Chain A
Amino acid sequence: DAGVIQSPRHEVTEMGQEVTLRCKPISGHDYLFWYRQTMMRGLELLIYFNNNVPIDDSGMPEDRFSAKMPNASFSTLKIQPSEPRDSAVYFCASSLSGGRTYEQYFGPGTRLTVT
């Protein structure tokens, strides 16, 4: 079975530009998570969805960040405008309620560099 798919794997952009990160969760999973990993702050949960509905976005750093999940198989994380301090690895993860619930499976990550 395919795991969580993220694109692009690497993104280099200039400050002020819009960045869109994409995620396809594992088929059948009803939870989707966006994390950010930096050396200074470690792994931080930004937002998570259940059945395509945002449940908790308290980790979203500021209004420049937005996330959507238009359907069960696709989510985006958008940064507009981007800033150098947004440089990080962004992970998407998904999990399934019931059964082996709470086990989050992570995608390979998108390494974002903002110059």
Chain B
Amino acid sequence: AQKVTQAQTEISVVEKEDVTLDCVYETRDTTYYLFWYKQPPSGELVFLIRRNSFDEQNEISGRYSWNFQKSTSSFNFTITASQVVDSAVYFCALGEGGGAQKLVFGQGTRLTINP
């Protein structure tokens, strides 16, 4: 069965620190997609990134970076020089099936950035 585990329930850091959010997934599919979503206090879910199983290149977008390692079934998310506006719940998700339309979400990590 498809499963996503975000072992860190809550993380609290001081502004400007770097922080890494862990995501471990389980799947039997050879083709799959991984996602990160952000849910700020306002409640909406914001798409951050999509990565397919054939592309293990790390990706950087500003202060955000993602590390995908198939060998350890992990797709970790790092925020560099964190800011108070980064405070949110972050969800990792796995797209199962050939169409990857059916997403299985992790339980989320609540990140608090303190000034």
Contacts and interface: CB of A to CB of B under 8 A. Distances in A.
A104 B33 CA distance: 12
B43 A108 contact: yes
Given A42-B108, A102-B95, A109 B44 contact: yes
Contacts of B47: 103-106
A45 B108 contact: no
Interface string B30-72: 0001010100000111110010000000000000000000000
B40 to A, nearest CB: 11
Interface string A14-50: 0000000000000000010100000000110100101
A102 B33 contact: yes
B12 interface: no
Scoring A55, A89, A97, A101 by chain B CB atoms within 10 A of each residue's CB, the highest score goes to: A101
Nearest to A31: B101
Contacts of A48: 101-102
Size bin of chain B's contact surface:
20 to 34
B102 A45 contact: yes
Contacts of B33: 102
Contacts, number: 50
A104 B108 contact: no
Contacts of A31: 101
Contact of B103 (A45, A101, A108): A45
28 contacts: A31-B101, A33-B101, A42-B106, A42-B107, A42-B108, A43-B105, A45-B104, A50-B101, A55-B101, A56-B102, A91-B45, A95-B101, A97-B99, A100-B50, A101-B100, A102-B50, A102-B100, A103-B47, A103-B50, A104-B101, A105-B47, A106-B37, A106-B44, A106-B47, A107-B44, A108-B43, A108-B44, A109-B44
Interface of A: 31, 33, 42-43, 45, 48, 50, 55-56, 89, 91, 93, 95, 97, 100-109, 111
Given A43-B108, A102-B50, A106-B45, 6 more contacts: A56-B102, A102-B33, A102-B95, A102-B100, A104-B47, A104-B101
